[in-house]
Amino acid sequence: QVQLVESGGGVVQPGGSLRLSCATSGFTFSTYGMQWVRQAPGKGLEWVALIRHDVTTKYYADSVKGRFTVSRDNSKNTLYLQMNSLRTEDTAVYYCAKDGPYWGDFSWGQGTMVTVSS
């Protein structure tokens, strides 16, 4: 079955960088779009970024545009999120999600916690 395992979270100072990974299995990774969604402590869900199966098409939330970069390695079945210039408001659990036949119908990972604090 579909498995998504995020890693790379941790504590980082404001202005710092972090790279999240999402290792996948159970489906043909190269044929599906992938997403990042985050959830600040005690808050709701916020979409962060998506990358289509073709690798080149990417979209970002305004709140992270210019600071975060989504990428994927279809040979390694892995999704990435490079996060630069981190702010305290980026503190959240970051989930990776697999698209269905459209930009939705998500299958979710278990999430990885990112804490931005001095």
Residue numbers 78-97 binding other proteins by CB under 8 A: 95
β-sheet bridge partners, residue 87:
none
Choice between 16 and 59, CB closer to other proteins: 59
User: Contact between 100 and other proteins (CB under 8 A)?
Assistant: yes
User: Contact between 27 and other proteins (CB under 8 A)?
Assistant: no
| Residues binding other proteins: number (CB under 8 A) | 21
3-state secondary structure the chain: CCEEEEECCEEECCCCCEEEEEEEECCCHHHCCEEEEEECCCCCEEEEEEECCCCCCEEECCCCCCCEEEEEECCCCEEEEEECCCCHHHCEEEEEEECCCCCCCCEECCCEEEEECC
Q: Which of 21, 23, 47, 67 binds other proteins (CB under 8 A)?
A: 47
Cβ(72)–Cβ(51) under 8 Å? yes
User: Contact between 103 and other proteins (CB under 8 A)?
Assistant: yes
Q: Which of 5, 23, 61, 113 binds other proteins (CB under 8 A)?
A: 61
The window from 11-19, 24-32, 84-92, 105-113 that contacts other proteins (CB under 8 A) reads 105-113
Task: Point out which residues bind other proteins (CB under 8 A).
Answer: 35, 44-47, 50, 59, 61-62, 95, 100, 102-111
